[in-house]
Amino acid sequence: MRSRRILAALLAAGLTVTLTACGGGASRSAVILSGATVDTAATFEPDSTMARLKAAGKVTIGTKWDQPLFGQKGLDGKPGGFDVEVGKIVAAKLGLRADQIEWKEAPSKFREEIIERKDVDMVIATYTMNATRKKRITFSGPYYTAAQDLLVKRDNTTITGPDSLRPTKARVCSVAGSASAENVLKYIDAKQLVKFDVYSKCRDALRVGQVDAMTTDNAILAGYLSQSPTAFKLLGTPFTKEPYGIGISRGDVKFCEFIHQVMVDAAKNGTYQKAWTETAGKFNKAIPTLPEFDSCA
Ligand code: GLU
């Protein structure tokens, strides 16, 4: 009798949990915002990465945790943003639902390392395709092209672009292991550079006046601006080109070509554009055109 009562209580509790999960609406991270359909019937060449991931019923993707619009961890512990939606589009073509993706944080400095260690199957994390990184990993892309820019306090009138950084002796913040921290050295002395592990720390340092500017891709800076439009301004003086690629194990040409095809199809069927309008496009209305992909070989 007692055990029956306990069982009834447990069932009731279980029911409550289920109802709460539905009543609260499925978390956005479990929803494919772009509308891409999960290709459950997909078949792949045996021994390919695609076949392995489909059979495992799971894919692990590294992304950013603190970059609004591209990759930001939400209150539910799951990330959202354009990079995250791109990941869901690729997963869907592997036959995997959004809730079959395991997300891991991929700070700039550790992206190559986590791919090499096979901690992740892909890194989609505002990740510029460049020659140094290509020695360690393979990129499928570009799926988006950003440009490095500067974010300053809204009332700053002395920093007007990269050329004004040295004469004003500005303290400039960026992130270790990023292309941004390297590129800006053309415009400043090394002692002017302050480096953190993630960009949100630069944003906080800028907000309290510990640094005078932060620099990285306009795509990332726009995310911080979108959250604090009265605190900051984006200079709009781009000084590099940052083609974003999806990082995978070095030499996995078949997986690279598969991702390429997925993105070309996504641009044709509108899911690429919808991924944008549902994320970064909430702030930056200009829908990008999928760039021409580089060769995977
Ligand atoms: N796109 C640049 C890079 O890959 C800067 C952004 C970042 O660190 O994620 O290094």
Q: What does each of the 297 residues of the chain score in pLDDT, given as a tens digit?
A: 344 444 344 334 333 333 333 333 345 567 999 999 999 999 999 999 999 999 999 999 999 999 999 999 999 899 999 999 999 999 999 999 999 999 999 999 999 999 999 999 999 999 999 999 999 999 999 999 999 999 999 999 999 999 999 999 999 999 999 999 999 999 999 999 999 999 999 999 999 999 999 999 999 999 999 999 999 999 999 999 999 999 999 999 999 999 999 999 999 999 999 999 999 999 999 999 999 999 998
Among the candidates 206, 234, 262, a domain finishes at 234
Please check whether residue 140 is in contact with residue 243, taking contact to mean a CB–CB distance below 8 angstroms.
no
Do 128 and 264 belong to one domain? yes
With a 6 A CB cut-off, is 217 part of the ligand 1 pocket?
Answer: yes
- Distance from the Cα of residue 261 to its chain's centroid: 20
Q: Provide the residue range defining the domain that includes 135.
A: 2-146+241-282
**Cα–Cα dist 199/205, whole Å:** 10
Residue 296 in domain: no
pLDDT of residue 284: 94
pLDDT of residue 16: 36
Q: What is the DSSP string of 42-110?
A: ----TTSHHHHHHHHT-EEEEE-SEETTTEEE-TTS-EESHHHHHHHHHHHHTT--GGGEEEEE--GGG
Please check whether residue 151 is in contact with residue 162, taking contact to mean a CB–CB distance below 8 angstroms.
no
User: Order of strands across the sheet with 232-234?
Assistant: 193-196, 172-175, 213-217, 148-153, 232-234
Do 16 and 158 belong to one domain? no
> Given the CA of residue 67, which atom of ligand 1 is nearest to it?
9
Distance 222 CA to ligand 1 centre (A): 14
Do 262 and 177 belong to one domain? no
pLDDT of residue 1: 39
With a 6 A CB cut-off, is 179 part of the ligand 1 pocket?
Answer: yes
Distance 293 CA to ligand 1 centre (A): 19
Do 106 and 158 belong to one domain? no
Residue 162 in domain: yes
pLDDT of residue 277: 98
Residue 293 in domain: no
pLDDT of residue 297: 85
Distance 282 CA to ligand 1 centre (A): 22
Residue 297 in domain: no
With a 6 A CB cut-off, is 67 part of the ligand 1 pocket?
Answer: no
| Residue in 140, 150, 28, 145 with CA at minimum distance from that of residue 90 | 140
- pTM over cut 0.85: yes
> Cβ-count burial of 46 within 10 angstroms (0-12 exposed, 13-18 middle, 19+ buried)?
exposed
Distance 278 CA to ligand 1 centre (A): 22
Do 223 and 78 belong to one domain? no
Do 75 and 94 belong to one domain? yes
Do 138 and 170 belong to one domain? no
Residue 170 in domain: yes
Q: Which residues pair with 101 in a beta bridge?
A: 59
Number of domains in the chain: 2
With a 6 A CB cut-off, is 242 part of the ligand 1 pocket?
Answer: yes
Please list, in sequence order, all residues whose beta carbon lies within 8 angstroms of the beta carbon of residue 88, skipping any fewer than 6 positions away.
32, 33, 34, 36, 98, 101, 275
| Residue in 158, 163, 156, 181 with CA at minimum distance from that of residue 233 | 156
Residue nearest ligand 1's atom 9 by CA = 126
Distance 267 CA to ligand 1 centre (A): 23
Could you tell me whether strands 71-73 and 66-67 are parallel, antiparallel, or unpaired per DSSP bridges? antiparallel
Do 71 and 190 belong to one domain? no
Choosing from 65, 110, 126 the residue with most ligand 1 atoms within 8 A of its CB, the one to mutate for a pocket test is: 126
Choosing from 149, 180, 199 the residue with most ligand 1 atoms within 8 A of its CB, the one to mutate for a pocket test is: 180
Do 164 and 133 belong to one domain? no
Do 137 and 18 belong to one domain? yes
Do 79 and 182 belong to one domain? no
Do 176 and 105 belong to one domain? no
Residue 215 in domain: yes
Residue 164 in domain: yes
What CATH number is associated with residue 274?
3.40.190.10
Residue 287 in domain: no
